[in-house]
Chain A
Amino acid sequence: MWIEALIAVTLASAFAVFLAPNKVAGKLAFALSLLPLVGSLWMYSTYEASGNALLEGSELAFESNFEWVTAGPYALNWHVGLDGISMPLVALTTVLTSLALLASWTPIDERQSQFYGLMLFLEASLLGVFSALDFFVWFVFWEMVLVPMYVLIGVWGGPRRKYAAIKMFVYTNIASLVMFIGFIALVFGLGDSVTSLDMPAIAQALRAGELGGLGPLSAGTLKVAAFVAMFAGFAVKVPVVPFHTWLPDAHVEAPTPVSIMLAGVLLKMGTYALLRFNFTMLPKVAQNNAQIIALFAVISVIYGAMLALAQSDLKRIVAYSSVSSMGYVILGLVAYTLYGMGGATFQMVAHGLISGLMFMSVGVIYNTTHTRMVSDMSGLASKMPFTVAVFVAGAFGYMGLPLMAGFAAELFIFLGSFGAFAGSVWFTAAAMFGIVVVAGYLLFAMQRTLFGTFELETDYEVGPAAFHDVAPLVVLILLVILLGVEPSIFYTMIQDAVNPLVPAAGGGV
C-alpha cells in the first residue's frame, strides 16, 4: 500500500495547497512535498525486489493488485508495483519536485496557490505513471500529466506561452491517441489469451507469440503496425527528431520550475514507456529494425546538438541539448545489451538531475539579470560566482566529465551499443561525436556569458542569488557527483531489472 499512500498524500497535498492562501502556498507546498520525498526515499532504502516487472519470475516491491471493474475481456485492475527501472524514476520524481518547488519561490509571483497545487498534482500523476502496471491505470496517469502541464505553461509562462502550451497539448495528446490505438490493437489481437489489460500478462503473452491477426491484418503486420504506432506516440514525448518541435517552444515559454519538471521527469515518461512497451513487449520487431531506430537516435543526438549550437538563448541551448541527450537513451535501448539498456535507464535518471540543474541555474541567472540572451551578458562570474560555479559544474556534467553521472550513463550506453547489432559501430561512433558538439556549444556559451569582463544590457542590479535559489542547485550537484562516483547506487538495481530483457542472458525472444 506504499505506492497508493505516496500518490494519495501527494494528491491530498495538492488539494490543500490549492485551497491555501497565496502567501503561504509556496512554503506549504514545499513542506508537504517532503512527505512523498521522505516516503520514496524510505521505499528506496527498504526496496527488495528482483527481475523485471513485466516478465515472469519477478518479484516486485510494494506491489498491489485489486479488481476494479470486471467485464469479460475489458476487465480493469488496480495494479501497481516497482522494479529496478521504476524505483529510481519514482525517487527522481520526488526529489526533483521538491527542488523545483523551492526554485519557484522567486519567479512565481501571482496565483501561487494554483501554481503550487498544480505542481503537486503533476507529481502525483508522474508517480502513477512510473508505478502503474495495468495499462488502463497507467494511461489514466499518463494523460493526467497533460492537464496540469498545459495550465502551468499557459498561465505562468513567457510571452508566447499560449502558443507553446497548446502546441505541447495537441502534439502530445495526439501522440497518446496514436499510441493508444496501437496498443489496444495488440490487445485485441491477443484475443482470448489475455483477460485484462494487465501489462505483465500482455507482455508475457506477446513474448510467447500468442498474437493472432486482427481483421485484415496478419499477426506479423499487426506487430509491426502496433510497434510503429507506439513508437511514434512515445517518440513525441521523448522527443525524437523529427517529432521534437513542441519541446523547445514549451521549454522556452515555461517558467523555470516547470522546465525542470518537463526536462527532468516528463521526457523520461517517453523513454520509460518505450522500454516498457516497445522494447519489452515486441523485442523481435525492435531487434529486426534496430538500424532504423538507431538512425532516429543518432539523428536526434547530432541534430539536437547542432540546433543547440545555433541558439542564442541560454534556455533554448539547454532545451535542445535535451533532445540530444534523450537520443542517447534510445541508442542504449535499441542495443539490447545489459550495458546498453542499463545505461539508457541510468541516463534517464542522470539526465533528469543534470538537466534539472541546468534549467535551475539558467533560471537563477534569469531571475537576477532578467535576460537569457547570450549576447546581452558577459562576465557574470565576477558578480555571482557561486551560481556560475554551479552552472559550470552542471555543464561539465552534461559534457560527460568523468566522475559525474552523465559520464557513467554515456559510458554504459556506448559500451553497450558498440557492436551490439549490424552497423552499430558506425551508429555509436556517430553518436559519440555528439559529445564533442555538446562540449563545443556549452563551452562556447559559457565563455561568452560567464567569463571575461562584466557587461550586462539590463536595468537590474546583479548580485548573488537568495539562499533558497541556490540550495537546490547544491543538492543536485551533490547528487550528480554521487551518482558519477558510485553508479552502483542505482546501477545494480537497474541491471537486475534490465537483465531479463537481454538476449545474451536468455531473455531475448
Chain B
Amino acid sequence: MKILTLVRQVPDAEARIKINGQSVDLEGTTLVIDGMDEYGVEEALRLREGGANVEEIVALAVGPKKVEDALRTALAMGVDRAIHVETNERYDAVALSRIVAQVAGAEGSDLILLGGQEADWDSQALGAASAERLGWPQLTWTNELSADGDTLTGRHDVDDGNEGFKVALPAVVTAQQGLNEPRYPTLPNIMKAKKKELRKDEPSTYSVQPSVKYVNAEIQTRARLNKMIDGKDPQAAAEQLLDLLRNEAKVLA
C-alpha cells in the first residue's frame, strides 16, 4: 500500500499567541509539527515495521515556506519523501481537502493518515472532507490500527464509547493520543532526511479557492474572579467554598 500522511505546522502548545490586526500573528512563535499528525506519521512507520506491505510513505504539507521544517521532521522520523505545496493563502479544511484528494490521486495513495484535530484550526474536518472527495470511508479518532493485506482493523472512539472496526483500503484514518508514542528523530536520521526528496508544488497546480473568509480574531479573555480562599484550615476553607458556590455563584443547591 501507499500511505499519504498529512502534516501541519502549529504553534507549540506553550507558545504565546499574538494577534496583529484582525488575525493571529505567528511571527516569532515556536512552531512544531502538529502532535496529532505526528501520531499519524508514526503509525505509518509502524505499519511498515509491523510487516504490512507498505510500498511508500509520503508526507504532504500545505502552507508557507517554514512548513518545510515540519516536513523535515516527518522525513527524519522515517517517511520516504515529502511534498510541499508552498502558499501563504489560508485554506479552510474543506478547500484544503481538494489538494489532498488531488495529491492522493496522483500518488496512487490508498491510505491517508492524519491527526484527529488540528491544533491551529481546532478543526476535525480535514480527514472527513478528504475522504468524501475521494469517495473513501473514514475512521476517525483511531487508537489501535493494524493492516493485513488490504484490510485494516482497529479501534476508534465514537460518541458513546469505543468501536472495533474492519475496513478495506482505500481509507482515511485519523489518529489520536493512545494510538502510539511518536519516535524522536535521531541525529543520523536527521542527516539522512536532508538527502530525501522534498518536492515543491505550486498552489496554482491545484486551482483551489478558500470557501471560508476569515474576518477577525481575538485572544480569549474571560474575566475570572480569582477569589482565593485560605486553605490552612481545611474545614473552614471547605465551608467557605460551599457557601460561595451556593450563594454567590449559585451553582450548587
Q: Do A and B come from one complex?
A: no
Hey, which bits of chain B sit against chain A, CB under 8 A? none
Q: A residues touching B (Cβ–Cβ < 8 Å)?
A: none
